[in-house]
Amino acid sequence: MTNRRNILAFGASLLALSATGALAQNLPAREDLDTLRPQIAPHEVDFNAYLPAGEIHVMPAEFALYFTLVGGRAVRYSCGIGKEGLYEAGTFVMQYKKEWPTWTPTPDMVERDPERYGQYAEDGMPGGPDNPLGARALYLFTADDQDTYLRIHGTNEPDTIGQAVSNGCARLMNDDIADLFDRVAEGAKVVLHPQANASS
């Protein structure tokens, strides 16, 4: 009964915050991203008093990622998400994290676009500023230790923040993923919340 009340309260609080605009933010136009960077920089917000500290919650409709703190607070990061049909809602475990990670496309990515991804299918791309995973990556697994191939990572395309363009992963500005990387512990719970128009 307590769990049901907590879940209902969590949902109600998110709806209330969204309705009042406390969570929602309009991202700047792409050409103004650098100029208006302070407006989308990570910052603390009221989030949900029922959640423990140390969790990650991705809200796709807001293009926002929240890292929960004590006292119902969270750090809010602007993010990009998976394109239509590739965003995968669910609850995961952040099994491990890497600095300047190597990137290897998934078999599905190679199949969808062999011309673009095929050259990296075997050896991947070494970490560095040209790597699609950017400066840091968090690796998401299922509760039974299966790699989902979903990542929360940086990006070498900062103008994609606030858009649904990825192959399923959530992406942050490189400075932001570095900040999140230092805050989150391996083993953390990660929730990719459903998209508003997703069927139940």
pLDDT at 167: 82
Number of domains in the chain: 1
- Residue 54: is its pLDDT beyond 50? yes
Per-residue model confidence as pLDDT tens digits over 153-200: 999 888 899 999 988 899 999 999 999 999 999 999 999 999 876 443
- Alpha carbons 37 and 52: distance in angstroms, whole number: 29
- Known active-site residue 79: no
Q: Which of 43, 57, 79, 153 is catalytic?
A: 153
User: Does pLDDT of 2 surpass 50?
Assistant: no
198 belongs to a structural domain = no
Residue 92 lies in a domain: yes
* pTM over cut 0.85: no
Predicted pLDDT of residue 35: 57
Q: What is the pLDDT of residue 68?
A: 98
Tell me the C-alpha distance between 188 and 174, whole Å.
Answer: 20
Q: How much of the chain exceeds pLDDT 90, in percent?
A: 55
Residue range(s) defining the domain that contains residue 76: 2-192
**CA-to-CA separations, 17 to 10, 20, 86, 175, in angstroms, rounded:** 11, 5, 27, 27
Lowest mean pLDDT among 6-15, 16-25, 162-171, 175-184: 16-25
Which CATH number characterizes residue 159's domain? 2.40.440.10
43, 57, 79, 169: the active-site residue: 169
Enter the tokens of residue 104: 């290897």
Nearest to 172 by CA among 67, 95, 46: 67
Q: What pLDDT was estimated at residue 185?
A: 98
